[in-house]
């Protein structure tokens, strides 16, 4: 898995390995027939999980963005309050650990110094901890009370892609499991979610067909030096990670922002010189998603009135968005809580092709390392 297998860069190979990473991460842990998620390696008793009163998710970089998506999954499916924090902040702010608090640390490498220190701080203050890691027996995995491994395979490129989507799949599995053991989810609901999870790899294969469109966008926008990435609710972490990918590999300034917040400042910057990349999908079965989508449409109309160029990530079949935005990349329809796994793929590809178009070292961007093991 560590060689490029014919791809020009590890990053592109790892983007295209995401369907397999999702299959390997999800399939061993679900039984569609029984309507059950089994997380044997979580090693925290059902009684303890039923007594959890608050969950704190702590991570760095892209892994924290996965945690931000996980917050929506766990709150919606298990009805447990979740807070998300940077590991580098958590470890130095004397965190208040509540009674019956569970701390989830997310880390591809399992060796990030900030995240290691954060987990040690949480444990020292009495919190049980679960690590989500892509590296077996890594330091953070070994020191956690419970471990949920992603099975994305070795991730070589400094910019994290397949680990990110696998992390979100594991967080979704954990949210179902927690909802299951706390009696929040009926068997039929769990079966429906498992079915959607099992369809994700094929839907991700479909999204990967947009690679040439993303390359064309990079060719068109490769001289632009600033972008604004927008998303609402669970799509905000997608916008954050799309912006981070672009910064990491192409050195272009990009900012992720909650779409609804643009009127409180960023709107002053939005004009013909600041392209807007907006996640504007819609789960028609989710009233909240439909409401947010309608707000997004209004936002885009406003950006167009300000002469901005708009790149939209939209749901397949949304012909209205094709008319409204300057460029639209479509992703297959999926439940609101799972669509981030599909939405991030075109943003990963866009960042990749921007870096290639600019002739940069895609897999080893300047000033960055794969795992910051020293603070
Ligand atoms: C950075 C990497 O150094 O560390 C990012 O460049 C990564 O891609 C971040 O998201 C956190 O790393 P890890 O291994 O703890 O997920």
CATH of 209-357, one of 3.40.50.1110, 3.40.50.10490, 2.60.40.60, 3.40.50.740: 3.40.50.10490
Q: Is there an atom of ligand 1 within 6 Å of 107 CB? A: yes
- The tokens for 44 are 């925290």
**Å from CA of 373 to ligand 1 middle:** 10
Q: Is there an atom of ligand 1 within 6 Å of 134 CB? A: no
Q: What CATH code is assigned to 10-205?
A: 3.40.50.10490
Relative to beta strand 101-107, strand 128-133 is parallel
Same fold, 10-205 and 209-357: yes
Q: Is there an atom of ligand 1 within 6 Å of 25 CB? A: no
Q: How many CB atoms lie within 10 A of CB 172?
A: 27
Summarised one tens digit per residue, pLDDT across range 325-337 is: 999 999 999 999 9
Atom in ligand 1 nearest the alpha carbon of residue 371? 3
User: Would the pLDDT of 7 be above 60?
Assistant: yes
Please report, to the nearest 10 degrees, the dihedral formed by the alpha carbons of residues 113, 148, 337, 203 taken in order: 110
Per DSSP, what are the bridge partners of residue 277? 229, 311
**Å from CA of 130 to ligand 1 middle:** 18
User: Would the pLDDT of 60 be above 80?
Assistant: yes
**Å from CA of 366 to ligand 1 middle:** 15
The secondary structure of 103-125 as a DSSP string is EEEEESSS--HHHHHHHHHHHHT
**Å from CA of 63 to ligand 1 middle:** 7
pTM: 0.97
Q: What is d(CA 39, CA 371) in angstroms, rounded to the nearest whole number?
A: 27
Which residue's alpha carbon is nearest to atom 7 within ligand 1?
61
Kindly indicate the confidence band of residue 374, based on its pLDDT and cuts at 50, 70 and 90: confident
Segments making up each domain of the chain, as ranges: 10-205, 209-357
pLDDT at position 2 is 63
Q: What is d(CA 355, CA 360) in angstroms, rounded to the nearest whole number?
A: 5
Please report, to the nearest 10 degrees, the dihedral formed by the alpha carbons of residues 357, 360, 361, 365 taken in order: -120
- The tokens for 39 are 């997380």
Give the residue ranges of DSSP H helices in the chain: 10-16, 18-26, 46-51, 61-78, 87-90, 113-124, 139-143, 162-181, 187-207, 211-221, 236-250, 287-305, 319-324, 339-357
Summarised one tens digit per residue, pLDDT across range 23-52 is: 999 999 999 999 999 998 788 899 999 999
Q: Is there an atom of ligand 1 within 6 Å of 262 CB? A: no
Q: Is there an atom of ligand 1 within 6 Å of 109 CB? A: yes
Summarised one tens digit per residue, pLDDT across range 209-223 is: 999 999 999 999 999
């Amino acid at each position: 898995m560590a060689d490029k297998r014919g791809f020009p860069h590890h990053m592109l190979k790892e983007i295209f390995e995401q369907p397999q990473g999702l299959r390997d991460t999800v399939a061993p842990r679900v039984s569609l027939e029984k309507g059950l998620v089994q997380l044997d390696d979580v090693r925290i008793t059902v009684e303890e999980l039923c007594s959890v009163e608050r969950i704190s998710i702590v991570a760095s970089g892209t892994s924290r963005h996965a945690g931000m998506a996980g917050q929506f999954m766990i709150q919606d499916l298990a009805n447990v309050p979740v807070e998300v924090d940077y590991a580098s902040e958590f470890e130095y702010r004397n965190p208040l650990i509540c009674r019956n608090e569970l701390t989830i640390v997310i880390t591809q490498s399992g060796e990030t110094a900030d995240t290691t220190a954060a987990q040690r701080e949480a444990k020292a203050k009495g919190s049980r901890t679960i690590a989500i890691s892509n590296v077996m027996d890594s330091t953070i995995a070994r020191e956690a009370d419970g471990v949920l491994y992603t099975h994305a395979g070795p991730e070589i490129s400094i910019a994290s892609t397949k680990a990110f989507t696998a992390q979100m799949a594991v967080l979704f599995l954990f949210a179902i499991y927690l909802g299951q053991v706390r009696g929040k989810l009926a068997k039929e609901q769990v079966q429906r979610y498992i079915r959607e999870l099992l369809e994700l790899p094929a839907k991700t294969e479909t999204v990967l067909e947009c690679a040439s469109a993303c390359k064309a966008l990079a060719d068109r926008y490769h001289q632009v030096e600033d972008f604004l990435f927008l998303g609402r609710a669970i799509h905000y972490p997608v916008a954050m990670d799309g912006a981070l990918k672009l910064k990491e590999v192409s050195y272009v300034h990009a900012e992720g922002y909650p779409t609804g917040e643009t009127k409180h400042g960023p709107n002053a910057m939005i004009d013909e010189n600041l392209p807007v990349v907006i996640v504007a999908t819609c789960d028609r079965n989710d009233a909240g998603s439909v409401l947010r989508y309608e707000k997004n449409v209004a936002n885009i109309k406003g950006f167009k009135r300000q002469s901005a160029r708009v790149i939209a990530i939209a749901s397949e079949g949304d012909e209205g968005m094709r008319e409204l935005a300057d460029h639209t990349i479509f992703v297959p329809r999926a439940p609101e809580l799972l669509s981030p796994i599909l939405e991030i793929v075109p943003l990963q590809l866009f960042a990749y092709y921007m870096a290639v178009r600019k002739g940069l070292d895609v897999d080893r961007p300047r000033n960055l390392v794969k795992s910051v093991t020293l603070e």
